[in-house]
Amino acid sequence: MKSNILSLLLAATGIIILVSCNPHETSHNNEKLLARVGQSYLYASEVPDYFPEGLSSEDSIQMVKNYVKSWVTRELIVQHAEENLPNQIQKKILEQVVQTRNSLYIHHYEQAMINQKMDTIVADSTLQAFYDAHTDLFRLNNNIVKALYIQIPLTIANLSNVRKWYRSDKPEDYNKLEGYCFQYATKFDDFNEAWIPFSGILEKIPYRVTNQERFLRTNRFIEAKDSVYQYFVRINEYHLRGTPAPVEYVADEIKNTILNERKLTFIQELENNIYSDALNRNEFEIY
Torsion over CA of 156, 161, 167 and 169, rounded to 10 degrees?
Answer: -130
Distance separating alpha carbons of residues 35 and 126, to the nearest angstrom: 59
Nearest to 110 by CA among 269, 276, 277, 284: 269
Q: Which CATH architecture has domain 140-239?
A: Roll (3.10)
Inter-axis angle of helices 87-117 and 251-280, nearest 10: 110
Q: Mean pLDDT across the chain, nearest whole number? A: 89
**3-state DSSP helix/strand/coil % of the chain, to nearest 5:** 55, 15, 30
Mean pLDDT confidence for 102-115 = 97
- Residue 35's identity, in one-letter code, is A
Residue percentage of the chain with pLDDT more than 70: 89
Q: What is the pLDDT of residues 127-173, one digit of tens each?
A: 999 999 999 999 999 999 999 999 999 988 788 999 999 999 999 99
Q: What is the pLDDT of residues 19-67, one digit of tens each?
A: 334 444 445 667 788 999 988 999 988 888 776 777 788 888 888 889 9
Inter-axis angle of helices 57-84 and 2-12, nearest 10: 70
Nearest to 270 by CA among 104, 107, 98, 101: 107
